[in-house]
Amino acid sequence: MRVNFALFEEVTQLDLTGPFEVLARAPGFQCELVAKTLAPVRSDRGLGLLPTRTLADAGPCDVLVVPGGPGADAALGDPEWVAFVRDQAAQARWVFGICTGSLLLGAAGVLQGRRASSHWMARDLLAAFGATPMPDRMTQDGKLFTSGGVTAGIDMALLLVARVLDKAAAEQIQLQIEYDPDPPFPGGTPATSREEIVQRCVAAGSARRALREAAVQAAAARLGT
Amino acid sequence: MRVNFALFEEVTQLDLTGPFEVLARAPGFQCELVAKTLAPVRSDRGLGLLPTRTLADAGPCDVLVVPGGPGADAALGDPEWVAFVRDQAAQARWVFGICTGSLLLGAAGVLQGRRASSHWMARDLLAAFGATPMPDRMTQDGKLFTSGGVTAGIDMALLLVARVLDKAAAEQIQLQIEYDPDPPFPGGTPATSREEIVQRCVAAGSARRALREAAVQAAAARLGT
């Protein structure tokens, strides 16, 4: 099982590193980080990650993983990234969109007529690409797995291992990474967080939201949805 | 708040990248990855991470984060890493050991007479360094925060943000990263996993366990505990 992770500048690194930790532990899975060049790529918070393949020599994959972050908004408008995701998604057995990575899948035309999840602050924008936005933490529609923000990619990667291999393989990884989560506070979704916290997130994300809306509108216009 | 992450070869990357995603979002926190040189470092599963500082020029920190993984066992026997962790822990306001990173804290003499957590397959080894092994996912003993395996570092980083800043800051990050975890299966601890799964993990980890025991015994002998 070859897994290609899309690695663009200003990715939200945990969208990628969470599923990587799970999938790289699955027997027979080989994980590659695919970027424009082999130069280190910086996450939105400055973590430097090293690509292993370029877009040109990525080769086909069984699982395509598209993380999100501010960089996904830029990638929506980048013909090289859009073509890469479109072509890789067409031949992959499974396609994974985490957080706002699902917007990039949308811009590549992969989500037309499909149900999909995304980060709660961006989920409604999926409709611009002909998708039905789902409020769920994980949505499976055929070979498409899409998830909510950041940490949801860990849950979804475990589910994928169970589907592709078997449940015991996923449970073994879950125990290896001691994944019995215990968040110190209630919250983590707009429904479970205090209203004050939701408002703080929306305010802190308003500039990003405006950039994202513009990027999505332009990408949807090019796609013709 | 300056945060120094110890970055050694064969680190379990999610031990580091999970807390990094949380701490790098906290207002006023600056995260640095400290390694022997500025050359890329490979995780135990092949993810390449880029250091930002060397051991020699790391400078003092407010928060020291020590991740685990097979590389932590090698670092236990490496005088440069042991001295770095000892010196940084002595002056830090908060010290963080994730997964088997707490063994490296132990080898640096930081855990003598203290309560500490670690990965469930390594927890008992903390006693060799004069610590009291705790079965909890997170243990706070004064300025020392130690956790169980891998994903526990995310929970613990949220707790640290709440302690250092305030609860609302931690809740805001929790909502940004949509941390309302929903593992697809029960499990994630030896108590909640099926016995067959626990046995598979123990069998798969037996060679690593033997290496780790030897490394801990040698490090404890050097420390004189």
* pLDDT tens profile B48-92: 999 999 999 999 999 999 999 999 999 999 999 999 999 999 999
* Nearest C-alpha neighbor of B117 from the set B101, B130, B128: B101
**Set of chain A residues whose Cβ sits within 8 Å of the Cβ of B183:** 155, 158, 174, 179-181
Quote the mean pLDDT of chain B. 96
**Residue A143 confidence (pLDDT):** 96
Residue-wise pLDDT tens digits, A10-22: 999 999 999 999 9
pLDDT bucket at A152, cuts 50 / 70 / 90? confident
Q: How far is the C-alpha of A163 from the C-alpha of A167, rounded, in Å? A: 7
Q: Is it the case that residue A218 has pLDDT exceeding 90?
A: yes
Q: What is the mean pLDDT of chain A?
A: 96
Q: Touching check for A165 and chain B: CB below 8 Å?
A: no
Chain A stretch 61-120, residues whose beta carbon is closer than 8 A to a beta carbon of chain B: 99, 119-120
Answer whether residue B150 shows pLDDT above 90. no
Do residues A99 and A107 make contact, with C-beta atoms less than 8 angstroms apart? no
B187: nearest CB among A47, A49, A171? A171
Domain A2-223 has CATH 3.30.1180.10: no
Predicted confidence at residue B76, as pLDDT, reads 96
Taking one residue from A and the other from B, the number of pairs with CB-CB distance under 8 angstroms is 228
User: In Å, what is the CA distance from B35 to each residue of A40, A130, B4?
Assistant: 16, 46, 10
Q: Using CA atoms, how far apart are residues B168 and A159, in angstroms rounded to an integer?
A: 31
Once rounded to an integer, what is the mean pLDDT over residues A99-123?
A: 97
| Structural domain boundaries in chain B | 2-223
CA distance B10 to chain A (A): 13
| B152: pLDDT strictly greater than 90 | no
Question: What are the distances in angstroms from CA B182 to CA A137, A156, B60?
Answer: 8, 9, 38
Q: Is B20–A47 a contact, with Cβ atoms under 8 angstroms apart?
A: yes
- A149 pLDDT exceeds 90? no
Residues 6+ apart with CB under 8 A from A21: A154, A177, B12, B13, B14, B45, B150
Residue B8 has which token pair?
Answer: 């050694």
- The two structure tokens encoding residue B95: 């010290």
Does the structure show a pLDDT above 90 at B189? Answer: yes
When pLDDT is cut at 50, 70 and 90, the band that residue B168 belongs to is very high
**B184 and A170: CB-CB below 8 Å?**
yes
- What percent of chain A shows pLDDT beyond 70? 100
Model pLDDT, residue B83: 98
Assess contact for A59 and A2: CB atoms under 8 A: yes
How confident is the model over A158-163, as a mean pLDDT?
94
Burial class (CB in 10 A: 0-12, 13-18, 19+), A191: exposed
User: What is the percent of chain A with per-residue pLDDT over 90, rounded to a whole number?
Assistant: 95
pLDDT at residue B225 greater than cutoff 90: no
Instruction: Write down the residue that tokens 């449970």 correspond to.
Output: A171
pLDDT for res A225: 79
- Does the pLDDT of residue A150 top 90, yes or no? no
Express each pLDDT in B88-130 by its tens digit: 999 999 999 999 999 999 999 999 999 999 999 999 999 999 9
The model's pLDDT over A117-139, given as tens digits with 9 standing for 90+, comes to: 999 999 999 999 999 999 999 99
pLDDT digits (tens, 9 = 90+) for B2-50: 999 999 999 999 999 999 999 999 999 999 999 999 999 999 999 999 9
CA distance B197 to chain A (A): 6
Name residue B156's amino acid: M
Per the CB < 8 A criterion, the answer to whether B221 and B213 are in contact is: no
